[in-house]
């Protein structure tokens, strides 16, 4: 059987990808996770069941650092594809020096420094950027978040509602340095919330624009201050772009006798210790802690935490007493042995049932907000109408990223699921005192309705796939314990952190 030049080019790309992947000692699942794709996607591309896309090729080149080999194979494939689609308009192949591709922007180095003084915390973040895309970059999104008591979200939420973070106190300063000049940058607010800010850093100032053109490199620096009364004992960095090197420094008063440790989480794994150690070295009256990692996977979050042993402990928290399940049942959540959660929920007739759908969604959202004040669920949480005794196919999910808007699902059903699964511990608001190992697909496609009755399909991956699948189970009359393997014991929540 003969193959076409286009098919041979796709096979050449797949072979080059496999060669560099195995040379780095990575499995297909590991590479897909580092690239931010579904774990099955790399397998499909290497098996020539999926044709490579430009985005896939750029990410693979950036992650595997293949000196242009993967990107060259893609260019050869893409030129053949374009020639077959429109031979009369074939573009000449690019000439000149090869530029390492990325996902538009590549962070070659990030250094973040957090310093505590008598005036509070000062944060300085520097990122060395490389525009490896095909279009000029004119803005860059950054986030500033505070959480006074990260282990007590209810207390933190109340505190920041009463004492919101303001741009005036942040005193944000932003610069761009291309090696020839250091220019101040303008910025624009995208989201302004009590404990969370999202800001566009603009590649422009009063003298005019200075976009980062394809192939160019520049360092951006932004700095801000936050008072100690609003900053909790933690500092988190999230990897949202392909990053070569990430480094964090904590500069703390030695007189406070700080103890520092760290954890990391990703879309496909629960919280665990940092893979590289935190190093301490003292400078006069300062205790300096350095941590760094090379080639951190996309969508991984690293959090450094500390405790000051040289100052009195804070007063005992005024949190409600009693078991978590009892506190949640007091909010109206039915126990897991009630009849309602075991019956499939009634589908809504939309748009006729729109007023009721909105009423149920608002009630679920309000209960979730109250749950956040009573019991911390850092990995996100959800609530389905049957858990409140309401016979309606409505669920609301609060993602792990607290800055994200809640997801409302109406009449949802899973229409496709990844064959790749993982097994993680789950809990439930109706049964909050235990955890259990539950296998779930790493990706699910969910068909669901809008309030106007139209239907759409949304794909969810990793942590969100688990949250959404859990709530759809509730709407279908199934509990998470039904999906556990026979003989696997439940773990009391007090023992869960040690398993």
pLDDT of residue 337: 66
Instruction: Name the nearest CA neighbour of 130 among 156, 174, 99, 162.
Output: 99
Q: In this structure, what token pair is assigned to residue 342?
A: 């075991």
Neighbours of 101 (CB within 10 A): 25
Longest dimension (CA), the chain: 78
**Through-space distance between the first and last CA atoms of the chain, rounded to whole angstroms:** 54
- What pLDDT is stored for residue 60 in this prediction? 84
Question: Rounded to 5 degrees, what are φ and ψ at 221?
Answer: -135, 130
Q: Please tell me the predicted confidence (pLDDT) of residue 441.
A: 93
Cα angle 16, 299, 63 (rounded to 5 degrees) comes to 20
The answer to whether residues 411 and 448 touch, using CB atoms and an 8 Å cutoff, is yes
**How far apart, in Å, are the Cα atoms of 328 and each of 200, 306, 420?**
39, 30, 34
User: What tens-digit pLDDT sequence spans the chain (499 residues)?
Assistant: 567 888 888 899 999 999 989 888 888 888 887 777 766 778 888 988 888 887 788 888 878 878 788 888 888 888 887 776 554 433 333 333 333 333 478 899 999 999 999 889 999 999 999 988 888 899 999 999 998 887 777 788 888 888 899 988 899 999 999 888 889 999 999 888 888 899 999 999 999 999 999 889 999 999 999 998 899 999 999 888 889 999 999 999 999 999 999 998 875 556 788 989 999 999 989 999 999 999 888 778 899 999 998 765 554 334 444 456 666 766 778 776 666 677 899 999 999 999 999 999 999 988 888 787 666 566 678 999 999 889 999 999 988 776 678 899 999 999 999 888 888 888 888 777 788 889 999 999 999 999 999 999 999 988 899 999 999 999 999 988 889 888 878 877 656 543 3
On the question of a cis peptide bond just before residue 483, with omega within 30 degrees of 0, the verdict is no
CA distance 470 to 466: 6
Confidence (pTM): 0.53
What is the C-alpha separation between 269 and 212, in angstroms, rounded? 35
- Whether 471 sits among the annotated catalytic residues: the reply is yes
- Rg from Cα positions in the chain: 25
User: CA torsion, points 320, 471, 302, 404, in degrees to nearest 10?
Assistant: -90
Q: What is the pLDDT of residue 319?
A: 41
Q: Which of 16, 76, 426, 471 is catalytic?
A: 471
Helix (H) or strand (E) holding 485: none
**CB-based contacts of 466: which residues, under 8 Å, 6+ apart?**
424, 426, 438, 440
Please give the Cα distance from 436 to 81 (Å, whole number).
Answer: 49
């Amino acid at each position: 059987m003969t193959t076409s030049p286009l098919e041979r080019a796709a096979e050449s790309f797949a072979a080059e990808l496999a060669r560099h992947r195995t040379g780095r000692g990575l499995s297909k699942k590991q590479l897909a996770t580092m690239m931010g794709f579904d774990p099955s996607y790399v397998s499909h591309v290497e098996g020539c069941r999926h044709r490579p896309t430009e985005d896939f090729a750029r990410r693979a080149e950036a992650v595997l650092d293949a000196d242009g080999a993967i990107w060259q194979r893609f260019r050869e494939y893409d030129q053949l594809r374009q020639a077959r689609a429109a031979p009369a308009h074939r573009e000449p192949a690019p000439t000149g020096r090869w530029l390492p591709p990325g996902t538009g922007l590549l962070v070659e180095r990030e250094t973040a420094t957090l310093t505590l003084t008598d005036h509070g915390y000062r944060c300085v973040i520097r990122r060395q950027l490389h525009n490896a895309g095909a279009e000029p970059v004119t803005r860059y999104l950054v986030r500033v978040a505070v959480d006074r008591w990260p282990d007590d979200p209810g207390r933190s939420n109340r505190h920041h509602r009463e004492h919101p973070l303001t741009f005036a106190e942040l005193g944000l300063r932003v610069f761009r340095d291309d090696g020839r000049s250091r220019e101040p940058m303008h910025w624009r607010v995208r989201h302004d919330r009590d404990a969370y800010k999202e800001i566009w850093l603009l590649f422009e100032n009063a003298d005019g624009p200075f976009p980062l053109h394809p192939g160019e490199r520049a360092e951006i620096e932004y700095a801000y201050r936050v008072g100690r009364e609003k900053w909790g004992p933690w500092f988190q960095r999230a990897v949202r772009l392909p990053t070569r090197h990430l480094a964090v420094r904590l500069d703390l008063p030695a007189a406070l006798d700080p103890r520092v440790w760290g954890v990391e989480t990703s879309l496909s794994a629960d919280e665990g210790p940092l893979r590289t150690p935190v190093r301490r070295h003292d400078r006069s009256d300062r205790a300096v802690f350095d941590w760094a990692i090379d080639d951190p996977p996309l969508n991984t979050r690293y959090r450094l935490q500390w405790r000051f042993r040289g100052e009195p402990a804070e007063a005992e928290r005024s949190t409600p007493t009693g078991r978590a399940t009892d506190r949640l049942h007091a909010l109206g959540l039915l126990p897991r042995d009630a009849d309602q959660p075991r019956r499939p929920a009634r589908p809504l007739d939309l748009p006729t049932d729109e007023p009721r759908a909105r009423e149920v969604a608002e009630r679920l959202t309000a209960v979730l907000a109250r749950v956040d004040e009573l019991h911390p669920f850092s990995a996100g949480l959800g609530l389905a109408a049957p858990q409140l005794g309401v016979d309606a196919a409505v669920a609301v999910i609060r993602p792990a990223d607290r800055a994200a808007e809640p997801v409302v699902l109406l009449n949802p059903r899973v229409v496709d699921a990844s064959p790749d699964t993982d097994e993680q511990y789950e809990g439930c608001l109706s049964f909050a005192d235990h955890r259990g190992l539950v296998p779930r697909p790493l990706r699910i496609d969910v068909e669901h309705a809008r309030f106007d009755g139209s239907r759409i399909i949304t794909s969810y991956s990793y942590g969100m796939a688990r949250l959404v699948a859990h709530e759809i189970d509730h709407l279908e009359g199934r509990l998470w314990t039904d999906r556990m393997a026979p003989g696997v014991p439940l773990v009391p929540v007090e023992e869960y952190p040690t398993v």
